[in-house]
Amino acid sequence: MTAIIQARQLAKRYGQRAALSNCTLSVPSGRVVGLVGPNGAGKSTLLKLACGMLAPSSGTITVLGHRPGAGSAQISRVAFVAQDAPVYPALSIADHLKLGARLNPRWNQAYATARIADLHLDPAQRAGRLSGGQRAQLALTLATGKQPDLLILDEPVASLDPLARRDFLRQLMQDVAEHGTSVVLSSHLISDLELVCDHLIVLSASHVRLTGDVERLTATHHRITCARRDPATLPAGLHVIAAEHTDRQSTFIVHSDTPPPKGDWAIDPVGLEELVLTYMEHDRGRDPGPGGDSAAADQDSADQGSEVAR
Amino acid sequence: MIEFHLDPRSGVAPYLQIVQQVHQALLLGLLSEGDQLPTVKQVVATVAINPNTVLKAYRELERDGLAAAKPGVGTFITRSLGQASLAEQAPLRDELEEWLKRARAAALSDPGIQALFHRALRESAERDT
């Protein structure tokens, strides 16, 4: 399967500050990708690099096989909605659709107007008077109206109330079901994305911590609970991601390509949210310099990603 | 037509929740042979989940011989698990109730019984695959 986004050693620095470091990943097409990480982890930077609004400081990124932002053909295939769904407050909804039609060669006006009607929005309404949820829906309509192959959404639901959040995700999933669009959407909360994404990228402190298809990630991580023991005494092939001990009990989150062997321990699945938190916690407080521990872990997880992509 | 309800907190994979809910609807007689399952688009429009999750669940139902896809139309139930199968289940249910009595007599609490059952179920499923 072709990769929709391919990054090799991608890095972005703002002066002395590294916003994204040593980012190597491969995202297969046709996925809904959740990009998760705490605020300031580098999520927006990665998304802006993917749509060509930023240029890398070093390394390479290709999107749909080409350099992001390279020519109008490439731009017409990628849609990007920035954080908080920016629209023109003084322009009406109809004006926004007119702009969309003039600026995008693949624009589908019939689809866009039908969607505005489905949302019970008045085309004459000025965008500045819309609620947060309506503004997000307008931005999504503009982005999907250009019929992109890849739709990139930066924190699309962060500022929405739970009802608007659900409406937005329903609409987005309908678009995916209908057009097979690949989607990348970021959030600092995995719980927002748990049911919608089938591929995951976890970023923290400017590094990729984990990447891969959700199904594979949950199948290869396990929680082992047992009487207190030294992780070194666990069977070979179990890579310990996190260990917690009380005076009599030990709990390990392990990565293993094959199911762990039976033993005097209990093996349980690890939920997506716990998995994400485990990887973030694991790397917290570390200074991940290039060539250090975390860089090796990045390479490891990037290999997993490409394994899934094959 | 039935509707699905998904709980991300349940610890059960979302596609499996759909499969289980179809099984349940069959057992309760809410679905029977010839009935159409909601289309992928209908499901994602109500529960906001990844369309591939629905496809995966439907493929699983096809493998189990419970449903079949008619290209361009939708997915249909091909087998009933109605009253007959409820009757078949009666002896199993009796045995289970016997077992529950013994578990309570052994001072197991309900959460304890659930944990024991879920673990045994999962481990036996893993052995079989």
Q: Which two tokens stand for residue A66?
A: 């080409």
Q: What is the pTM of this model?
A: 0.82
Task: State phi, psi for A196 to the nearest 5 degrees.
Answer: -100, -30
Residue of B nearest to A30 (CA): B52
Span A93-108, mean pLDDT?
A: 96
What average pLDDT is seen over chain B? 88
- The residues of A whose Cβ lies within 8 A of any Cβ of B are 32, 166, 169-170, 172-174, 176-178, 191, 194-198, 218, 259, 266, 269, 271
Find, in chain B, the residue whose alpha carbon is nearest to that of A180: B51
Record: contact B44-A197, CB cut-off 8 A: no
A186, β-bridge pairs: A35
- Report the pLDDT value the prediction gives residue A25, as an integer from 0 to 100: 94
- Across chain A, mean pLDDT equals 88
Lowest mean pLDDT among A114-128, A275-289, B34-48, B91-105: A275-289
- Answer yes or no: do A195 and B53 touch at CB < 8 A: yes
- For residue A267, give the amino acid letter: I
Question: Residue A1's pLDDT is what?
Answer: 55
pLDDT score of A285: 55
On the question of pLDDT at B21 being above 80, the answer is yes
Is A65 in a helix, a strand, or coil?
coil
**What is the tens place of the pLDDT at every residue in A159-169?**
888 888 899 99
Q: Do B51 and A259 touch (CB under 8 A)?
A: no
Amino acid at A91: L
Cα gap A150→B69, rounded to integer Å: 28
What number is the average pLDDT over the span A5-15?
95
Which of B8, B44, B45 lies nearest to residue A194, judging by beta carbons? B8
Q: What is the pLDDT of residue A306?
A: 33
Report the sign of the C-alpha dihedral through residues A64, A68, A73, A79, in that order: positive
Asked whether the predicted pLDDT for residue A182 surpasses 60, the reply is yes
The two structure tokens encoding residue B46: 């109500």
Shortest distance, CA B90 to any CA of chain A (angstroms): 31
Contact, B2 vs B25, CB < 8 A? yes
Q: Which residue of A has its CA nearest to B126?
A: A259
Distance CA A114, CA A141 (A): 10
**Residues B53, A177: C-beta atoms closer than 8 Å:** no
Read off the pLDDT band of A310 (50, 70, 90): very low
Dihedral sign for Cα atoms in the order B19, B21, B26, B31:
negative
Chain A: nearest CA to B89, how far in angstroms?
29
Q: Which two tokens stand for residue B27?
A: 């057992």
List the single residue in A198, A218, A269 with the smallest CB-CB distance to B50: A198
pLDDT above 50 (res B70): yes
Taking alpha carbons only, the member of A59, A58, A97, A104 closest to residue A78 is A104
**Average pLDDT score over residue span A70-80:** 92
Out of B11, B44, B52, closest to residue A271 by CB: B11
State whether A176 and B44 contact (CB < 8 Å). Answer: yes
Residue A239, by phi and psi: left (phi above 0), alpha (psi -120 to 50) or beta? beta
Report residue A75: phi and psi, to 5°: -65, -35
Sheet strands side by side (includes A58-63) = A17-28, A3-14, A58-63
State ipTM.
Answer: 0.78
The CA distance from B103 to B124, in Å, is 19
Q: Could you read off the pLDDT of A115-139 as tens digits, one per residue?
A: 999 999 999 999 999 999 999 999 9
CA neighbor of A155 nearest in space, from A185, A175, A133, A182: A185
Please tell me which of the candidates A166, A177, A259 has its beta carbon nearest to residue B51.
Answer: A177
Q: Of A234-243, A248-257, A267-276, A301-310, which gets the smallest average pLDDT?
A: A301-310
Beta strands A207-213 and A199-204 are antiparallel
Q: What share of chain A is helix, strand, coil (3-state, %, to 5)?
A: 35, 30, 35
- C-alpha A302/C-alpha A211 separation (Å) is 7
Q: Which of B6, B41, B119 sits opposite A177 (nearest CB)?
A: B41
Q: What is the pLDDT of residue B85?
A: 64
Is B45–A169 a contact, with Cβ atoms under 8 angstroms apart? no
Q: On the CB side of A42, how many CA atoms lie within 13 Å of its CA?
A: 25
Q: What is the pLDDT of residue A309?
A: 28
Residue pair A196/B45 in contact by the 8 Å Cβ criterion = no
Q: In the predicted model, what is the mean pLDDT of residues A89-97?
A: 97
Closest CB to B50 among A32, A166, A259: A32
Residues of B in contact with A197 (CB under 8 A): 50
Residue with tokens 């505005």: A116
